[in-house]
Amino acid sequence: MLVLFLIFRIFPSLGAAGMSLTNWNIGGEWEFTGLDNYARMLDDPTFWISLKTTLVYVAVYVPMTVLFSLGTALLLNAVVTMRGLWRGMLFLPYVTSFVLAGVIWRWIYEYNGLINGLLAKLDLGPVMFLERSELVLPALALVSAWKGFGYSMLILLAGLKAIPGSYLEAARVDGASAWQRFRSIVLPLLKPALFFVLVIETISGFQVFDTIYVMTGGGPARASYTLIYAIYDKGFRGFEFGYAAAFGMVLFAIILIVSLIQRRLLGRENT
């Protein structure tokens, strides 16, 4: 087991750093080129596009999925009638794959697809969600949010369940409105769970790949060309392994920063 880790987790982690300093290519020949890959990256419009695309995607995806999961968790917490059924239905997409989500939703967004078919009945549309550069990232974010929110919903639901009913009852007796109870009791007590959800969803936002591969291939005109898509594209289409590894290091750095911010904020929370 230890050997396995050494070979397949630790070695590649170090290897990624080392490799990003070389011009490794398909033939396996390489020479040490120092920081050339990083210098090239700064001059490479593709890099800046992929970085910007990823950040925009995360900025759309995270609020969307947190809103979905918080909203459904609050509803599930408030409703008793057939709660198990609703919870199951809302959680269902989580057990499927992003590839499947991509295949289904590509059809849903298509010219002859579900949404445009329904729009046509209302004499509206068609809206080409995946072919318009301003719509493609929100459309992709919606697919990932749909597929993934069930997990965060359960985390938040567990957080809500942990809030003692007597607190809320006391506030109700004191005449606090539903919004006041939410703002001054539920939200502060839910903060750790909410924060956890925020961080893991941010990280999974940065890791988006499968849906993009299936639905857009990075298009239209690189409007959905994210960092991981760049790693795949540079590595397995361009066969520039060294350069692709450098993209991987950037991804790692970003996720590390997100995790460190989380540590810092959580630490402050505890003191």
Partner 1 sequence: MTITDSRPAVRQANTPAARPRRAGRSWPLVALLAVLSVLTVSPFVAMFIVALSPAGEPTVPGGWPSRLTLDNMLQVLETSGFLEWTANSAIYSVVSVVIILITASMAGYAFAKKRFPGRDAVLWTFLATMMVPFQATLIPTYVLVSDLGGVDTFWGLIVPTLANSQAVFLMRQFILGLPDELFDAAKVDGASELRIYWTIVVPLTKPILATLGVFVFLWHWNDFLWPLVIGQSDATRTLTVGLTILRTEEMQITLLMASAAITVLPCLLVFFLLQRYLVNSIAMTGLK
CB 34: neighbour CB atoms within 10 A?
Answer: 9
- Do 188 and 248 touch, CB atoms closer than 8 A? no
Contact 243, 234 (CB under 8 A): yes
Site for partner 1 in 216-255 (CB under 8 A): 228, 231-232, 235-236, 241, 244-245, 248-249, 251-252, 255
Q: How far is the CB of 95 from partner 1 (least distance, A)?
A: 5
Spatial distance between the Cα atoms of 190 and 164, rounded to a whole number of angstroms = 12
Which residue in the set 58, 76, 190, 194 belongs to the binding site for partner 1 (CB under 8 A)? 76
Minimum CB distance to partner 1 smaller for 136 or for 231? 231
* DSSP assignment letter at 9: I
* Residue 67 touching partner 1 (CB under 8 A): no
- Binding partner 1 by CB under 8 A: which of 165, 179, 267, 270? 165
Choices 32-40, 59-67, 157-165, 184-192; region in contact with partner 1 by CB under 8 A: 157-165
| Contacting range for partner 1; rule: CB under 8 A; set: 6-14, 31-39, 40-48, 52-60 | 6-14
81 binds partner 1 (CB under 8 A): yes
**Maximum Cα–Cα distance for the chain, whole Å?**
74
Q: How many CB atoms lie within 10 A of CB 147?
A: 23
CB of 99 to partner 1, least distance (A): 4
Query: Looking up tokens 């080129």, which residue turns up?
Result: 33
Binder of partner 1 out of 109, 214, 216, 222 (CB under 8 A): 214
Cα 116 vs. chain centroid, distance in angstroms?
26
